[in-house]
Structure 1
Amino acid sequence: MKKRTLIAEELDAAGIKVQYDEHVKRILSSRQVLARILQGAVSEYAGCCTEEITEWIEPGIEVSRVPVKPGGKRENELLITGDNTESKVPGEGSLTYDIRFRALLPGQSKPAAVKLLLNVEAQKKFYQKYHIVTRGIFYGARMLSEQLDREFTASDYDELKKVYSIWICMNAPKHIGNAMSEYRIAKQDLIGAIPEQQANYDKLSVVIICLNEEAPEGNCAKLHGFLNTLLSPAMDAAEKERLLAENYGLVMEQELGKELRQMCNLSEAIEERGIKKGLKRGLKQGKAQGRAQGRAQGIQLAKAVIRLAGEGKNEEEISAACHITVNSVREILSD
């Protein structure tokens, strides 16, 4: 029996796509990558160098894997030991975070001084059945309520830590392009003025980062250039590693380089498999017009289907756009 490799022909397209998603999560969970995200998207780290931020990120970064019920009052749970990626609260259901971690604020080094709890999510498209900002608020609110009996006890609410929910949206529509917005709790005096320090109510921020690799750079922030390069499905691994090192100072650790190469290989495998299926269909349809034309039609059809799927279109939308049946779309994208 032949040895199964990461991009072996035996792997079905659905399985490959699942692995691709997992590689994206693991790449985003790199301390070097998270440091650059914090530097560009979290105001508390503006002006700090990535080397410093890397040291402030806790040792344990959790990527969605096996869910574990959070909670408990053991002393070591108040230290920097990593957060579970699934949240279960009685009566509130459960949710699973892509990446969850904690970080010290600049200038603070003691475990007791942990101030920020952060969650990073990767999305293949901007438009969902819901608004991403609304989901981000829900995730942030859950991270706040979970702190009872973990970060503080009884009525000691002043120990509540600020939370960030950061959403990275790939394939943003052209009219949005490369953009970033923050949604946060703010104070507005309606009658008179109530004296209150911002730190006492500024406890939740949702940051949405939209990426569009094809959009003109314009005033695009350095973070967008970094993430577009890091997550590009079209760029080969060697070129990606070179640009990340030369332009963004990323040190190609063995594990990070391995994840990048595997992600690129998986992307190529998905496209190659889809082209083969589309080619087969195109050859069948093009017999009357000649084999060469049928081959060209098959490749063009497969590329169109794969491109639309990469933009987050569902099977029905791809079917309508390519003028083929839903079953044909499934045939190209999977076994």
Structure 2
Amino acid sequence: METNIAQAVDITYDRARYDESVKELLADKQILARILKYTLDEFKDTDIKTIISNIDEPEVSKVRLEPGHTNTDKIKKSSEEDSVPGEGKIFFDIRFSVYCGDDLIKVLINIEAQKSSDVSKLGYHLDNRIIYYLGRMISSQKEVEFTKSDYDNLKAVRSIWICMDAGDNEDSIIRMNFTQESIFGSSMNLPNIDKVQGVIIRLRSNENSGESKNALIAMLEELLRKEEASIKKKHLSERYGLEMTTDTAEKVNVMCNLSEVVLEKGIEKGIEKGIEKGIDSTIENMLTSGSFTDEQICVATGRNMDYIIEFKKGLGKR
């Protein structure tokens, strides 16, 4: 048991540091600008430098998703109003606002880095989670972006998910949004149904796959590929036009160095193969020790929160 727990502590600490470094790199404005340009219509005709200049400072893993926490500037009300019993703490990976068009219209953006889009691994359908995130981004605007019934000041929201488990020929970019349909009678103009959109970017899990035919996917796959920092910086600069500023270069260095630490300890290989075999035993040991939060167990074992909650219920029945 002690060996399992010590192993889980190492996995939690190093994997969490690596995952955080990935988010920090994805939150670089040069990366964000390219994601927006190649996934959202409102930015497709805008040059990268203009998009960068119109991005507010991103927040990385700092904003809670649950009701009562999403809106950090919200007028204070009774905390009981928004409490949701039994929900774990969930944070947006990256959240920021950006301005587009000649009128500089504000758009609220959320970007998530997701290892898998497979329902059998997640325990839920990813589109449902995206809809929930979009719903929180909409509802949290009350008393900040608009007050009372001034709904015309509602800002557009976009939730973009980068998933890393596509097959060799399955890389893709998928957009989901509201559509208008007349069921009976004459149609009417609904100009704001495009305010809610979700995007799924599917990257290939095989790092030996050839360069994607899509420029954004090719850049993101290069960004997340495990290779020496000097090579990665050279490729990002020469192939995809990223300027290696001091800040960007440092983020690349940190991520690559942490990636090497993870590989040297065999953590990633252990999660995917060795630990997977006895993962329920590891979860049970971590739960019964009382030394780990549910979130830490999720990170250490790769299981989602719903799985941990159901596992705890099963332990209680023994």
TM-score normalised to the size of structure 2? 0.73
SS of the equivalent of 1:41 reads coil
Aligned to 1:40: 38
Q: Write the letter of the residue equivalent to 2:114.
A: Q
Segments of structure 1 that go 5 or more residues without pairing to the other structure are 1-10, 75-87, 275-304
Shift in alpha-carbon separation, 1:181–1:155, aligned structure 2, 3 A: same
Aligned to 1:259: 251
SS of the equivalent of 2:264 reads helix
CA distance in 2, matches of 1:273, 1:73: 47
Aligned to 1:99: 94
Aligned to 1:15: 13
Which of 217, 222, 227 is the equivalent residue of 1:229?
222
The root-mean-square deviation of aligned C-alpha atoms, in Å, is 3.0
Q: How many residues are treated as equivalent by the alignment? A: 262
Which structure would you say has the larger RCO, counting Cα contacts within 8 Å and 6 or more residues apart? 2
Shift in alpha-carbon separation, 1:70–1:43, aligned structure 2, 3 A: same
Contact 1:178 1:220 in 2 (8 A): no
Aligned to 2:197: 205
For residues 297-320 of structure 1, the C-alpha deviation after alignment (integer angstroms, 9 at most, x for no partner) is xxxxxxxx84474xxx5866x328
CA distance in 1, matches of 2:235, 2:212: 20
Shift in alpha-carbon separation, 1:91–1:173, aligned structure 2, 3 A: same
For residues 173-232 of structure 1, the C-alpha deviation after alignment (integer angstroms, 9 at most, x for no partner) is 41763111111011111112332143x222211101010153755863100000000111
* 2:72 paired with 1:70: yes
Q: Write the letter of the residue equivalent to 1:107.
A: D
For residues 262-288 of structure 1, the C-alpha deviation after alignment (integer angstroms, 9 at most, x for no partner) is 2111111121122xxxxxxxxxxxxxx
Aligned pairs for 1:256-295 (under 5 A) are 256-274=248-266
Aligned to 2:314: none
Contact 1:71 1:146 in 2 (8 A): no
Aligned pairs for 1:1-335 (under 5 A) are 12-58=10-56, 60-65=57-62, 70-72=72-74, 90-92=82-84, 95-109=90-104, 113-114=105-106, 116-127=107-118, 128-170=122-164, 172-174=165-167, 177-198=170-191, 200-212=192-204, 214=206, 216-217=209-210, 220-232=213-225, 234-274=226-266, 306-307=268-269, 309=271, 313=272, 318-319=276-277
Segments of structure 2 that go 5 or more residues without pairing to the other structure are 1-8, 286-299, 301-318
For residues 94-119 of structure 1, the C-alpha deviation after alignment (integer angstroms, 9 at most, x for no partner) is 6421111111112234xxx42x1010
SS of the equivalent of 2:180 reads coil
SS of the equivalent of 1:271 reads helix
TM-score normalised to the size of structure 1? 0.70
Q: Write the letter of the residue equivalent to 2:129.
A: R
Contact 1:229 1:244 in 2 (8 A): yes
Q: Write the letter of the residue equivalent to 1:319.
A: K
Contact 1:182 1:207 in 2 (8 A): yes
Deviation at 1:70, TM superposition (A): 2.2
SS of the equivalent of 2:265 reads helix
CA distance in 2, matches of 1:325, 1:119: 32
Deviates more, 1:209-218 or 1:141-150: 209-218
Contact 2:42 2:101 in 1 (8 A): yes
For residues 227-280 of structure 1, the C-alpha deviation after alignment (integer angstroms, 9 at most, x for no partner) is 000111x22111110010001110112122112112111111121122xxxxxx
Aligned to 1:296: none
Aligned to 1:283: none
Contact 2:155 2:195 in 1 (8 A): yes
Deviation at 1:148, TM superposition (A): 0.9
Q: Percent identity?
A: 32
Shift in alpha-carbon separation, 1:179–1:166, aligned structure 2, 3 A: same
Q: Write the letter of the residue equivalent to 2:18.
A: Y
CA distance in 1, matches of 2:281, 2:262: 18
CA distance in 1, matches of 2:178, 2:194: 6
Higher-Rg structure is 1
Q: Write the letter of the residue equivalent to 2:196.
A: L
